[in-house]
Structure 1
């Protein structure tokens, strides 16, 4: 999914991620920093330094991105 909004590097976002505690799996809110935006996803870094990609469709679900092509 393509979006019109630009997310600048250094922006801090709060997203929900799966977190395992023993035999239970729950959702935890995590703070991530945007490294770079690509046409269909953004590259982010967690507080621990782990890099991962989040698609624009996921950002739309989190209501971070509202506009789309």
Structure 2
């Protein structure tokens, strides 16, 4: 995860998600400054996840983890 985070930042990936199926959660990170990611939010199974970057991308996590 550390190497990918550095690579994504280098190439300006604006948002990336870390999916932890065993914990039924997704962490959403957003590039705020060059090379600096900020954890936007951790979403859990009962939440509805929404992308900050891709407008209209929104769905309940229970659809993924069930």
- Structure with more strand by fraction: 1
TM-score (norm 1): 0.35
In proportion to residue count, which structure has more helix?
Answer: 2
For normalisation by structure 2, the TM-score amounts to 0.36
